Amino acid sequence: MRPDWLLLSGALACLLAGCSRMDRLSIVRPTAERGDYTHVGQRYEVSDKDQKTSPIASADLVAGAAGLYQAGQVDLAERQAREALRRDPASSDAHTLLAAIANSRGDARAAGEHYAKAAAIAPANGNYTNNYGVWLCENGRAAESLDWFERALADPGYATPVDAMANAGTCAQRAGLPERAEANWRRAISRDPANAQSLAGLANLQFERGRFLEARAFVERWLGVAPNDQEALRLAARIESALGDKVAAERYLSRLQSIPRSGPPATRAQ
């Protein structure tokens, strides 16, 4: 049974600062929330003498480590997660937390190793296979990632299949497979009509194809979800310019300019 604290879905991974909405992938992030766990973030005293600690205790260690990670105590969180892994080498949750820690330090290679191990331990678990797919896509292996999203979708217990569908669309586009990208994005919005990642992908795709009326329809839906998304407003202005409606284009640009520069664009929390 996968712990509740790992099921915070929809936190977004962005490859580069300023990347477009369609480039952001949904990945399961570690969180210390557990419905039956009331002492999240507590520091555990770990000792080499505790050789016979059960996997249940290991799960509690990982939950506590996630709380420490969220509190910014990354070094302590890492030590505690590694102790949890020592106690239970088959803990996909510990590997997932260590992957997040490695990512926070810019160590993509180590993060990938942990995501891969988590997926190898629980190959039928959609959370872990989606996460590894995201890592592959973000690290130049977009085509290879697609199979992992399909594995996530094959898990009947996977709580957020729309995330994997949207991710599959984004990564298929990166892999040079626009038809497959479109199919996955449409699949996602058939389940969640307000999925911003897929609406963004479809709006950009139709614009690139010169299908400006279809692009307009998708960008309007995107803006309905995230009215202040700067990337959406820029694309909307380009679409209206391509359609010859300069007044509408200027209106979108005016909205874009009115957004305070000090904060990020408002986007839909997935």
pLDDT in tens, the chain (270 residues): 333 334 333 332 332 223 344 455 666 655 554 433 223 333 333 444 444 445 558 889 999 999 999 999 999 999 999 999 999 999 999 999 999 999 999 999 999 999 999 999 999 999 999 999 999 999 999 999 999 999 999 999 999 999 999 999 999 999 999 999 999 999 999 999 999 999 999 999 999 999 999 999 999 999 999 999 999 999 999 999 999 999 999 999 999 999 987 544 443 332
Phi-psi region of 106 (alpha: psi -120 to 50; beta: other; left: phi over 0): left
Q: Three-state SS for 38?
A: coil
DSSP sequence for 97-155: HHHHHHHHTT-HHHHHHHHHHHHHHSTT-HHHHHHHHHHHHHTT-HHHHHHHHHHHHT-
How many residues belong to the chain? Answer: 270
Pairing between β-strand 11-13 and β-strand 25-27 as defined by DSSP bridges: antiparallel
Residue type, 21: R
The predicted structure's pLDDT at residue 57: 83
Q: Three-state SS for 11?
A: strand
Pull the structure tokens for residue 203.
């709006």
Rounded to two decimals, what is the model's pTM?
Answer: 0.78
The predicted structure's pLDDT at residue 260: 85
